[in-house]
Amino acid sequence: MSFTPHGKHLIAGEWVAGEATFDSAPAHGDKHSFSIGTPEHVDRAVTAAEEAFWSYGYSTREDRAKFLNAIADEIEARADAITAIGTSETGLPEGRLQGERGRTTGQLRLFAEHILKGDYLDRRYDPAQPDRKPAPRPDLRMIERPIGPVAVFGASNFPLAFSTAGGDTAAALAAGCPVVVKGHSAHPGTGEIVAEAIAAAIKSCGVHPGVFSLIQGGKRDVGTALVTHPAIKAVGFTGSLGGGRALFDLCAQRPEPIPFFGELGSVNPMFMMPEAVKARGAELGKGWAGSLTMGAGQFCTNPGIAVVIDGPEADAFVAATDEALKGVGAQTMLTDGIATAYRDGADRVAGTTGVQAVLTTTCDLRNATPYLFETTGKTWLADEELGEEVFGPLGLVVRVSDVDEMVTVAKSLVGQLTCTVHLDAPDETAAAKLMPVLERKAGRLLANGFPTGVEVCDAMVHGGPYPASTNFGHTSVGTLSIRRFLRPVCYQNMPEALLPSDLR
C-alpha cells in the first residue's frame, strides 16, 4: 500500500483542511504540507467526542475489544506504508519502526483481551443486612466507570507506541472514553496514516465517529484549548518537563480541575555495587554504552547516570564504557530541535565545575554522537543541575567514596522512571541499604539489567514521583494504565435493571 499524506485533520469521521499550513521536516525524503489546527477544530472534535461518549461509554466490553482489535488489524494492513513514512519523518531505522508497530498493535490486542476478563472493573459487592443492629446496612455495589473524553498529546520519540494509537489512546478507548489526539509535528504523516487506520476500524465496527479525532500542528493555543475544554476529563502526555508542566498547571487551574497524566523525563540512574564492578566491570561498561546509545539515546528510560565507588575497578568500568562508546558513529535525531537541545545539554554538563570529560565528540545538524563525563559524589550533591535530563546518548559517571555516599546520592534524586542496581551475591547486604530509598524514588526497580525497553504487560509500571510523572499512583504502560481513565461509582439499593450490565 502506497501512501501520500493529504495533510488534513480527522475530526469525527471527516477529513478537514485548515486555512494555514506547515511543512514537515523529514530526516530524508519528501516534505509534505499539513493543515495547522485551531481552537475551533478542537471545539468541534471535543464536542463530537462528548456526543460519542453517550454511546461508546456505555458500550459492552465485547464491542470495545472488537474495536481495539480492528484498529490493530487496520494498522497491520498499512504496515509497509507506515514504516516508509515513519522512517522518512523521524530518521529511525526500519527495524525500530517495525518493532514499534508491533508494540502498538500488541498493546491494543492486550488491552482488548484484558477488558474481556473484567478484572479491571474492580467490582465489589456488600449485600444488604436489613437486620443488622443498631442500623441496617443497604445493598452496596461498586464498579469502575469511564470518565468521558480524553485528550492525548503525541510524543516526539515514539511516533507509533506513544502517539496517535499509542498507549494513552489505547487505554482510554479500552476504558470506554473517546479520544482527541494532538498530533506531534515531528511526524504528522505517520499520525495521519494511523488515524486512517482508526477511521477504517470505526466504520467497520459501527462506532460513533466522534470516538476519535486527530488535530495536526498548531501552537500553544491548540494545546491550551484542548486541555481547558470543559468536556475533556483527563489528559495523557509524554514529552518535555517544561511543556508538560505548563499543561499540568492549566489542568489544575480549570474551573473543574482534571487529572493530567504526564510522563516528563528521567535520568534513570544505575548504582554499580562494588563486587559486581570488580567481577565484570568491563562487561557492565560495554552494556551501559549499548543502552546509552540505543536509538540515539532518545528513550525516556535512557540510563544517563552511573554511580560507582571510586577506585581501580571504577577506572576499568569507565575505560570499558569509553572504549565501547568510541565505536558508535553519528546517529540521526528525531528533530532539529532535539539535536540542538542535546548539544546544549552536553555543553552545560561540560561547563560544570568539578566535571571532567572522558569522551567528547563533535556533532552538528540533526546528528548525535556520544559523550561521557565523570564527577564526584560531592560535586553531584552540590549541583542540582547535574540531575537534569540530557535527552540523547550522554553518560555521567558519579564516583563516590563508599556505599553510604551512594545512599546519600540516591536520597538526593528527584523522581525517576527507573533505578537500577548492578550487583552480585556478595553485594546484597550493601544493596539492601539502597532499596528503601530507591522504592521512594522510582516506579520501576531493576537488578542487573538496563532500563531501555519497557515491557507491555500486567505488572509493568512506567511512571514515578514527579518529575518522572505527574501522577505517581498510575502507569502509562501496561494494563494498569486503563485505570487512569476510570472512576469508581457506588450503587446503593439500586434495582438490578438500572445497574450497569457488568454489575448485574
For the annotated catalytic residues, the residue numbers are: 263, 300
Q: Which three cell numbers stand for residue 271?
A: 548504582
CA neighbor of 474 nearest in space, from 10, 482, 434: 482
Residue type, 406: M
- Verify cis geometry, omega within 30 degrees of 0, for the bond prior to 138: no
CA 266/CA 67 separation, integer angstroms: 34
The values of phi and psi at residue 376, to 5°, are -100, 160
Give the helix, strand, coil percentages of the chain, each rounded to 5: 45, 20, 35
Between CA 81 and CA 415 the distance in angstroms is: 39
Assigned C-alpha cell, 234: 483527563
Strand pairing category for 179-182 and 212-215: parallel
Q: What's the CA gap between 216 and 219, in Å, rounded?
A: 10
* DSSP track, 291-331: HHHGGGG--TT---EEEEESSHHHHHHHHHHHHHHHT---E
Residue 184 φ/ψ, nearest 5 degrees: -85, 135
Q: What is the CA radius of gyration of the chain?
A: 24
How distant, in Å, are the alpha carbons of 138, 397, 404, 410, 466 from that of 377? 60, 9, 11, 10, 23
Q: Looking at 27-184, which runs of residues are DSSP E strands?
A: 33-35, 124-126, 140-146, 150-153, 179-182
- Return the residue matching grid coordinates 565501547: 324
Comparing C-alpha atoms, which of 307, 495, 292, 281 is closest to residue 401?
Answer: 307
Count of residues in the chain: 504
